[in-house]
A = this chain, B = another copy of it.
Amino acid sequence: MIVVMQNGATKEQIQAVVRRVHELGFRPHLSEGQERTIIGVIGDERPIDDSVFRLMDGVEKVVRILKPYKLASRDFHPENTIVPINGVRIGDRSVVIIAGPCAVESREQILETAQAVKEAGAHILRGGAFKPRTSPYSFQGLGYKGLELLAEAKAATGLPVITEVMAPEQVPMVAEVADILQVGTRNMQNYNLLHALGALGRPVLLKRGMMSTMEELLMSAEYILSHGNYRVILCERGIRTFEPYTRNTLDISAVPVLKETTHLPVVVDPSHAAGRWEWVTSLSLAAIAAGADGLEVEVHPHPDKALSDGAQSLRPERFAEMVARARQVAEAVGRTVEG
């Protein structure tokens, strides 16, 4: 941490900061420049609040030097973390494809989709039972019944299953069925939920908040990791910007940036970013070319009858085409799509 004094700060003000540094158990390091004196604060700055220095007389600003996350950092854990899910290894050389409907809507729908995405090459089945919806008037998911149907689709196809959990009290119930528990974009900073998932110790797919920086995503992962649960998969799904054409703006740069800063696997959800199925394949190929470890794609057998997200869902035959093209791009960048 560096304390930058105002132009014209007095000796007394500088000395007061130096004393405060000592009081807090850190070592000060003074440096007088032409326009400003700066004081280095040596030690682990993470637990202290900027304001202990910022509010002192003569202080202009405080600059943090250390990354605020530790366990999620490549400095701490240089090797890629690999999350194994029933024989699928997320974070390894092969690119993993997760697919299925936004929401489980009926027995027929989920069984038909599960079979279709399996045949098209998906490795993991997605489907929401508990659905966070902006409007109280929209379909809110089948809840517990949806979990049962997911279990049935899993038994029928052998595909591992990922589904969203919205609140700490749902965790045990969801964990009975899910191979991966998903934290949705609106819950990335639901800390009670993150603690519950850390304690559970099962694989978690953590979606980036549509309003969150990459650093905040890593801090939320840190909540889970701090319980000793390292099976965390990060997911870029688009951020909110001023551009209205797409539902969200896919932050494709998050792929190389996160692969550099953290050891955790990074997958991309092109469907929520695009908001329209026509652009999903292009974004999927881009994600793989950029280095993503996997994709999470919405597929529905009858998108125009879907109870949610129909406009961004691929029909199974288009999804199969997408997987074939994804395989080619994966190979062009030295990876594979298994199956």
Stretch from A83-91, A155-163, A174-182, A304-312 contacting the other chain: A304-312
Contact of A310 (CB < 8 Å), options: B7, B51, B286, B311: B51
Say yes or no: is A94 at the interface (Cβ < 8 Å to chain B). no
Whether A173 is near chain B, meaning CB under 8 Å from some CB there, is: no
CB distance from A46 to the nearest CB of B (A): 5
A132 to chain B, nearest CB (A): 5
Rounded to whole angstroms, the CA-CA distance of A193 and B136 in the bound complex is 13
- Residue of chain B at shortest CB distance from A189: B186
Asked if B34 contacts A44 (CB within 8 A), the reply is: yes
Instruction: Check A256–B283 contact: CB distance below 8 A.
Output: yes
Query: Which residue of chain B has its CB nearest to the CB of A198?
Result: B136
Contacts A2-B2, A219-B135 given: A31-B42 contact, CB under 8 Å? yes
For residue A253, CB closer than 8 A to chain B, the reply is yes
Q: Which residue of B lies closest to A255 (CB)?
A: B282
Contact of A49 among B219, B282, B310 (CB under 8 A): B310
In the complex, identify which listed stretch (A111-119, A120-128, A146-154, A238-246) lies at the interface while the others stay far away: A238-246
Given A56-B304, A285-B290, A289-B288, check contact A33 B38 (CB 8 Å).
no
Shortest C-beta distance, A192 to chain B (Å), equals 4
| Structural contact, A65 and B36, CB atoms closer than 8 A | yes
Chain B nearest CB from A39 CB (Å) reads 10
Q: List 11 A-B contacts (CB under 8 A).
A: A33-B43, A36-B65, A46-B137, A47-B138, A51-B304, A166-B191, A211-B242, A213-B245, A239-B249, A241-B241, A328-B332
